[in-house]
Structure 1
Amino acid sequence: MLFMPGKGLGRDRKARESMTQDVQGKEPPEPAAATVPLARGLSTKLLLLTLVFVLLAETFIFLPSVASYRISWLRDRLATAAAVSIVLVQGDPAALSREAQDDVLMAIGARAIAMTDGGVSRLLVVADMPPEVDKHIDMANVGMFGEIAGALDTLINGGGSMLRIYGPAGEDEREFELIMPDKALRAAMLIYARNVALLSLLISVFAAMLVYAAMDRIMVRPMRRLARSMLSFSQAPEDPTRIIAPAARADEIGFAERELSRMQERLQKMLAERRHLADLGLAVSKINHDMRNMLASAQLISDRLSTSKDPTVQSFAPRLLRTLDRAVSYSEGVLAYGRTQEPAPARRLVKLHSLVEDLRDMVNADSGTEFVNAVPPDFEIDADPDQLFRVLTNIARNAVQAMSSETDRVSVRRLTVSAERQGSVCRIVVNDTGPGLPPRARENLFSAFRGAARQGGTGLGLAIAQELVRAHGGTLELVGSESGDTTFAVSIADRPLPFGRAFDGQRRHG
C-alpha cells in the first residue's frame, strides 16, 4: 500500500493519546484512609483469643482443684470423727446422754460414728440412723479420676445423698467410719468453685492483657506498619520516601519487611521503565507520520526501478521492494509496539532458507562479517514470516554489532544460522564468533533497557524477539556465551492439526 503525505495525521494523534493511556495506565483513585473497625481488628481478636485460651487452660486446673477440695473436706471430717472416737473409747460411750451424742454429731455434721479395731467394729455415736447409704467413699483408695468423677457427681447430683466415709486417720492404723449427708459438702464445694472461678477469670484477664501487650508490641504494631506502608506506597509508588525502611529483626516480621522493601524497589524500577517506554512510544509516534511519507517516496522510486530493463536493477529490485514493504509494516506497527502489545502471529508454512537469505542483506552490509546460511533449502517452519524475520534480525544485528566492535583484524567474524527439526518442534540456532556477552547483559538478557550488551544500547532487541517468540508459543534462550562462541536458539512447535484434517491425512497415507 502507498502512503501519501498528510494522510492519517488525525489517526496518529488519537493513536498517540490511546497509546499513552495504555502504556502509563489510568491513575487509580487515591484510596480513602483505611481503618479497621475495633470489633474486627487484629488487636481485639488477639485479646479475645488469649482470654479464651487462658480460660480453657484454667478449666483443666479447675476440676482437679475442686476434686482436691472435696477430698480435703472429707478428710477433715473423718479426722474430727477419729478424734471424737478416741476420746469416747478412752471413756464409756454408753455414759453419754442422748443430748450429748446429738451435740457431738451436730458439730461434725454426721449421723453416726463408728470405729474398727482388730477386726471388731463398734458403733460409738449414732442419731437418726438412715435406712440406707447411697455412696461409699474409701479415703484410703481414691484416685485422681475417681476424685474428679466424685466431685462432678456431688456438684451436679448432690444435696440429697447419704455418704459413708471410712478409712484411717493420720498414722492411726484403726479404721474410722462416718455416715453423713452430702448437703453441707455440696454447699462448701459450690462456694469454693465460685471463688476458684472468679480467681481464674481474674488470672485469665490479667494474663490476656500481658500477652496482648507483648503481642501488640511484637506483632500487631509491625503488621500495622506494614499495612500503612503498602497503602502509602500504593498512593504514590514513584515516591522513594514511601518505601518501607526494614527494622533490624531476624524473625518473620523482619523478613517480611525486607522482602516488602525489595518488592517496592523493584516496582519503582519497573514503573520507571514503563514510563521510559511510554516516552519512547510517544517520541516514535510523533515521527511516524514523517517516516511514512519518506517510505512512500521510496516506494514511488522503487516502482519506477522495477520497470527498468537493466539486469542489475532487475536483480536487486525485488529485494528492495520487499525491504520497503517490511519497513512500511514496521512503521504501521510502531503504535502497536508503543502499546506494548504485538498483534497475534499470522502463522503459515514458511521456507526458512529464503527468509534467512533476506536476512543476509539486512545484517551483512558493510559489516565485514561472513554470513553462513546453513538452513536446508527444503526446511519449512510454521510461523508468521514477518515476525520471525524480526526475531532473527534482532538476534543477528546484535551479533554483528558485537563482532564489529572488535578492533582485531585477524579475528574471524562469522554469523551462522542453522535449523533442525525435533519431532514437531523447529529449532533455529544463531551462532556468532563475537566476544560473548558481559555478565550484566546475561543477568538482564531479555529485559528492556537493562539487557544492552554495548554502551548506548537500549536492550530492546532481545526483549522484542522474546515477546514475538512467546506469541508463537515458543522459547528464545541463550544456549552459551563465551569468547568466540555465542549461541541463541529459537524453538517453535508446529500448530496441532484439527482432528478431521489429521484423520484425513492418516487415511490418505494409509
Structure 2
Amino acid sequence: MDLESHRFISYFLPDQRPELCHSATIEKFPPGTVIFEENEKPDALYLVLDGKIEFSKRGGLGQYQNVAWAEENDFFGEFGVLDGQPRSARAVTCTSATIAKIPRDRLMDILERSPGKVVLQLFHHIIHYLRLTTEQYVNQMVHKHKMMAVGEMANTIIHDLKSPFTGISLANSMLKDLHQDEETQEWCNLIQAQITQMVVMTEEILEFTRGKATLNQKTFNLGESLEKFQRLNFIYWNQHNINFILRCDNIILNGDENKLMRVWQNLVGNAVEALDEQGGQIVLIAAKLGQDALIKISDSGPGIPEAIQSRLFDPFVTYGKRGGTGLGTAIALSIVEAHGGDITFESQAGKGTTFYIRLPLC
C-alpha cells in the first residue's frame, strides 16, 4: 500500500497529512532484520506498508518470547514516541517488509498542533491494540503451559510403559517360537506391531511438545504399509460397524513409515469416533499425482463444525469425540510437513469429511 492511504495518516486532518508524509522516510527490509531492540531509546514511529513484523521480549534464559505482530496498515513504536521511555520489546521483520519511519520530534510537533479529535482517535487505537496484545500473550502462555504439561505426561508414560512393553514383547516372542502355525504367527505379528505403534505414539507426543519431529526415513511401499495399517485395525473397525475401503496404486515413498502410520491412525481414528456407534463408511485412496502421492481419506460422518474448521490443525482443538486431547490433527500436520507435504480438507454438515494428504514421491 502507499503511505498516503495508511490508516495512521487518515487519523489526521487533511491539511496535516502532506506534512506527515513529507516527514516520513520509506525503507525496505529483508526478513530477519531487527528494526529496534528492547530498551533502545525511541526515535521514531513506524508504519507498515507491507510485510509482517514480530515483537518479542527477552526471557529469563536469554530467549525471546513472542508477544505480538504487526502487518500491513498497522503501526508500531507509538508508546516510546508518546512517553519517551525505552522500547518495551524488540521488533524484527518476519518477511520482507516496507516501512515508513516518522521521526519522533516531527510527529510530536504535529500532535501538539492537532485538535482533540485526532488525539482521541490515536488513544482509541492504542487501547484496542493493548487489548489484542494482552489476549495474544495470554493465549500463548496458556498454550505453552499446556504443552509443558502434556510433555511431562508423555515422558512419564514412556518411562512407566517400558517395563510392561518389554515383558509383552518377550512373551510374544516365546509364543511365536512355541507355535509355528500360520494363524498364531499372524496374531503374534499383530501384537508386536501394536506394541510398536503404542511406543511410537507416546514418543510422537513428546516430540511434538518439544517442537521437533525426528524422522527415520527409508524407502517403502505405501500400498503394503496401508494394508498393514488395515490389518492392525480391522477388529476395532468391525466393533464399530465401519466399512473400510482401501485402494492404492503402486507407490514408493521415502519417509518414516511408523510416523506416517500414525497420520493414518489419527485421521481415520477421528472419523471412526465421529461416526460414533452408528457405523458408516471410510474410504482411503492413494494415487500418484505428478511428482506427489495424493492420499484421500473420506468418511460418511456428520462433518466438522464450521466453528472450528479454521482452527482444526491447532493443538487442543477437537470435535465429535467424547474424549481426547485435540492433538491428533496437529501431530498429523507436523509429521506430513516434516516429510515436505501438506494436508487440506473439505467438510459438509451431514455429508462427511475428506482429508487430502500430499507427499512427495521417492
Q: Same fold (TM over 0.5)?
A: yes
Q: Counterparts of 2:223 and 2:300 in 1: how far apart (Å)?
A: 21
Does residue 370 (structure 1) correspond to residue 240 (structure 2)? The answer is: no
Picking from 365, 381, 385, the partner of 2:253 is 381
Shift of 1:218: 7.1
Picking from 274, 279, 289, the partner of 1:422 is 289
Which structure 2 segments of 5+ residues have no match? 1-57, 65-82, 88-101
Picking from 210, 213, 220, the partner of 1:350 is 220
Partner of 1:3: none
Shift of 1:45: 4.4
Q: Counterparts of 2:305 and 2:169 in 1: how far apart (Å)?
A: 41
Matched-pair contact (CA < 8 Å) for 1:445–1:462: yes
Shift of 1:36: 5.1
Give CA deviations for 1:16-36 in whole Å, capped at 9, x if unaligned: xxxxxxxxx9536799x9835
Correspondences of 1:290-305 after superposition (within 5 Å): 290-305=160-175
Picking from 281, 299, 308, the partner of 2:151 is 281
Does residue 326 (structure 1) correspond to residue 225 (structure 2)? The answer is: no
Matched-pair contact (CA < 8 Å) for 1:426–1:494: yes
| Secondary structure, aligned partner of 2:334 | helix
Q: Counterparts of 1:46 and 1:326 in 2: how far apart (Å)?
A: 62
Q: Counterparts of 2:330 and 2:227 in 1: how far apart (Å)?
A: 24
Write 1 or 2 for the structure with the bigger share of helix.
1
CA RMSD, 1 decimal: 3.2
Picking from 2, 24, 27, the partner of 2:60 is 27
Partner of 1:473: 340
- With normalisation by structure 2, the TM-score equals 0.65
Correspondences of 1:101-500 after superposition (within 5 Å): 213-215=112-114, 254-255=124-125, 257-307=127-177, 308-343=179-214, 345-364=215-234, 365=236, 366-376=239-249, 378-406=250-278, 413-494=280-361
Matched-pair contact (CA < 8 Å) for 1:306–1:314: yes
Write 1 or 2 for the structure with the bigger share of strand.
2
Partner of 2:94: none
Q: Given the superposition, is the C-alpha separation of residues 43 and 485 from structure 1 closer, same or farther in structure 2, using an over 3 Å criterion?
A: closer
Whichever of the two has the greater Rg, that structure is 1
AA of the residue aligned to 2:186: S
Shift of 1:341: 1.5
Correspondences of 1:491-510 after superposition (within 5 Å): 491-494=358-361
Matched-pair contact (CA < 8 Å) for 1:469–1:475: yes
AA of the residue aligned to 1:448: P
Give CA deviations for 1:251-305 in whole Å, capped at 9, x if unaligned: 6x63454244224312311220121110111122123211111111110111112
Shift of 1:424: 0.4
User: Where does structure 1 differ by over 4 angstroms across 4 or more consecutive aligned residues?
Assistant: 28-31, 41-47, 215-219, 331-334
Q: Counterparts of 2:225 and 2:146 in 1: how far apart (Å)?
A: 33
Number of matched residues? 269
Matched-pair contact (CA < 8 Å) for 2:251–2:361: no
Q: Counterparts of 1:337 and 1:297 in 2: how far apart (Å)?
A: 27
| Secondary structure, aligned partner of 1:382 | strand
| Secondary structure, aligned partner of 1:373 | strand
AA of the residue aligned to 2:212: Q
Q: Given the superposition, is the C-alpha separation of residues 396 and 43 from structure 1 closer, same or farther in structure 2, using an over 3 Å criterion?
A: closer
Q: Given the superposition, is the C-alpha separation of residues 326 and 43 from structure 1 closer, same or farther in structure 2, using an over 3 Å criterion?
A: closer
Matched-pair contact (CA < 8 Å) for 1:444–1:451: no
- With normalisation by structure 1, the TM-score equals 0.47
Percentage identity across aligned positions? 20
Q: Counterparts of 2:310 and 2:320 in 1: how far apart (Å)?
A: 11
Q: Counterparts of 1:352 and 1:336 in 2: how far apart (Å)?
A: 24
Q: Counterparts of 2:152 and 2:176 in 1: how far apart (Å)?
A: 36
Q: Given the superposition, is the C-alpha separation of residues 262 and 451 from structure 1 closer, same or farther in structure 2, using an over 3 Å criterion?
A: farther
Matched-pair contact (CA < 8 Å) for 1:452–1:458: no
Which structure 1 segments of 5+ residues have no match? 1-24, 51-210, 223-248, 407-411, 496-510
